[in-house]
Amino acid sequence: MKKILFVSSEAHPLIKTGGLADVSGSLPKALNELSQSIHLLLPNYQGLNLTDPVHHRCTIRVNNCDIHILETRLPNSDVVVWLVDYPAFFDFAGNPYNDSQGNAWHNNAERFSLFCKVATEIAMDRAYLHWKPDIVHCNDWQSALVPALLSLEEDRPSTVFTIHNMAYQGLFPAEKYQELNLPKQLWHPDGLEFYGMLSFIKGGVVYADHITTVSPTYALEIQTSEFGYGLEGLLHHKQYILSGIINGIDTDIWNPESDEHIAQHYNKENLENKTINKTALQQQLSLPVDENIPVFGIVSRLAEQKGIDLILDSLPDLLSMPLQLVILGSGHHSFEHRLHNLIALYPNKISVTIGYDEALAHLIEAGVDVFLMPSRFEPCGLNQLYSQRYGTIPIVRKTGGLADTIIDALPQSLEDNTATGIAFHDANADSLLEAIKRALVLFHQKDNWKALQRNCMNKDFSWKNSAQQYLSLYNEL
């Protein structure tokens, strides 16, 4: 049995801004079920959706501040959660990283470097918790200083750093380095310095004993200038300790047979019940109710990464086709604004919901026929996995985890029942429209469509395989 400290800045259902939370909420559960002793470390944000009792475990001094460690459980699981409680940094309403205008909080460097220092104290068993992990598993820039700080310690646990998204690196002005009181030995171009800036993510990439990312294809992509954001050379140099492990999904939360947010449960034997969800969705969003019109859905952060501009560019053509389009998203104000303007123009064809809505996200997965993910890059992507489980056919751009988890519907893959979606190559509106036209043709070939839905629903995207891969990695270390 391994003792694992899993360090993350978000975990569903406690707090979520995106897929990192889905992974940090479900991988620890899966490892726990594989009989590992896992503790999840999170900041004690004001907005945590706590269900279990919380109690004080200890108080430590870091940066001359008193930091409390609180203990609770991850809802619906046995996973112990430790919360780093420092009200001045974490006890306020809103998003963990940005203000309501989408600007990063002014003290993010202070907030997350403190979080990393506390994680390091716990990892070295200096926090009066009487528990020393064998492995410290960190995720994304917010916890990336931990491998760097641990590299200075003797008799330290092994470290794993998982990159969920290279586009977010935690870059701050060099002056911050001294203010944060970080060890001098780590400040050099082969350390935490990145062209004169402080780079949190380099703490993980340079100092972790092993680096993973969330799909095999993305592990290769980030070694190129297109996807590496200036760290491609370093990542290539580290390729011998860099691997891709595809994300699993929480099959309890995303299950059309028991989903509490959908209108009618169904499975692959009674797929006709999926239509009841389509009707409920059309009614809820005030779209004409018609089971024969194909409904396309998007649930996404509205960010450049997600190819929202491709959708906007293709909309005039798209909306001249016989289909409906349902969009749920929040993010960049310019995207929100442009999408909003469209509702007035095409009220019977498009529904746009700006905001974050967990229940609607589930109903969309269950109710639409096709899910769109035209991402410019996608480290893994989870909605194409949820879609397959819900018999909803994904259209994806062939990149990162989307390339690894979707088999394009071509004559051969339709024939041998391996097809699970539609994939296109080029990041432009024409290619996306071409893929949508292919989907429309298939949608009206009822037998082919049903077969495609069944292929999707036969896939196993549970954590079973991937959690085992993480465990093998921990054992090797």
Compute φ and ψ for 200, nearest 5 degrees.
-65, -45
* Complex with ligand ADP: residue 177 or 227, whichever CB lies closer: 227
C-beta of 180 vs 246, nearer to ligand ADP: 246
Site pattern 387..426 for ligand GLC (x: CB under 6 A): --------------x-------------------------
Q: Which residues bind ligand ADP (CB under 6 A)?
A: 18-20, 22, 299-301, 328-330, 356-358, 361, 380-383
Instruction: Return the structure tokens found at 100.
Output: 């309501």
Query: Binding to ligand GLC by residue 247, rule CB under 6 A?
Result: yes
User: Choosing among ligand GLC, ligand ADP, none, which partner's interface includes residue 214 (Cβ < 5 to 8 Å by kind)?
Assistant: ligand GLC
Q: Strands 80-85 and 37-43: what pairing? A: parallel
Nearest distance in Å: CB 396, ligand GLC: 11
**Residue of 465, 396, 453, 450 lying closest to 420 (CA atoms):** 453
Is there binding between residue 381 and ligand GLC (CB under 6 A)? yes
Answer yes or no whether residue 376 interacts with ligand GLC by CB under 6 A.
Answer: no
* CB of residue 133 to ligand ADP, shortest distance in Å: 26
**Three-class secondary structure of residue 192 per DSSP:** coil
With CB under 5 to 8 Å by kind, the binding choice for 328 among ligand ADP, ligand GLC, none is ligand ADP
Using the minimum distance from each CB to ligand ADP, give the nearer residue, 18 or 216.
18
Q: Please give the order of strands across the beta sheet that includes 197-199.
A: 171-173, 197-199, 193-194
By CB under 6 A, residue 382 contacts ligand GLC: yes
| Binding mask of the shown chain, residues 206 to 245, with x at each position contacting ligand GLC by CB under 6 A | --------x-------------------------------
Q: Which does 229 bind (CB under 5 to 8 A by kind): ligand GLC, ligand ADP, none?
A: none
The two beta strands, 242-244 and 171-173, are unpaired
Please enumerate in sequence order all residues whose Cβ is within 8 A of that of 147, keeping only pairs 6 or more positions apart, or say none.
Answer: 136, 138, 159, 161, 203, 204, 206, 207, 208, 209
Between residues 381 and 391, which has the closer beta carbon with respect to ligand ADP?
Answer: 381
CB of 284 to ligand GLC, least distance (A): 27
d(CA 399, CA 405): 10
Residue 354 C-beta-side C-alpha neighbours within 13 Å: 14
Q: Which residues contact 439 (CB under 8 A, 6 or more apart)?
A: 294, 296, 370, 393, 395, 422
Query: For residues 476 and 243, is the Cβ–Cβ distance under 8 A?
Result: no
| # of chain residues touching ligand GLC (CB under 6 A) | 14
> Counting contacts by CB under 6 A, is residue 365 touching ligand GLC?
no
Can residue 137 be called a binding residue for ligand GLC (CB under 6 A)? Answer: no
Closer residue to ligand GLC in complex, CB, 224/417: 224
Spatial distance between the Cα atoms of 426 and 77, rounded to a whole number of angstroms: 42
Q: Dihedral through CA 384, CA 386, CA 387, CA 391, nearest 10?
A: 140
Distances 203 to 79, 123, 171, 193, 422 between C-alpha atoms, Å = 27, 16, 11, 9, 38
CB of 181 to ligand GLC, least distance (A): 30
Which residues sit at the interface with ligand GLC, rule CB under 6 A? Answer: 18-20, 23, 164-165, 214, 247, 378-382, 401
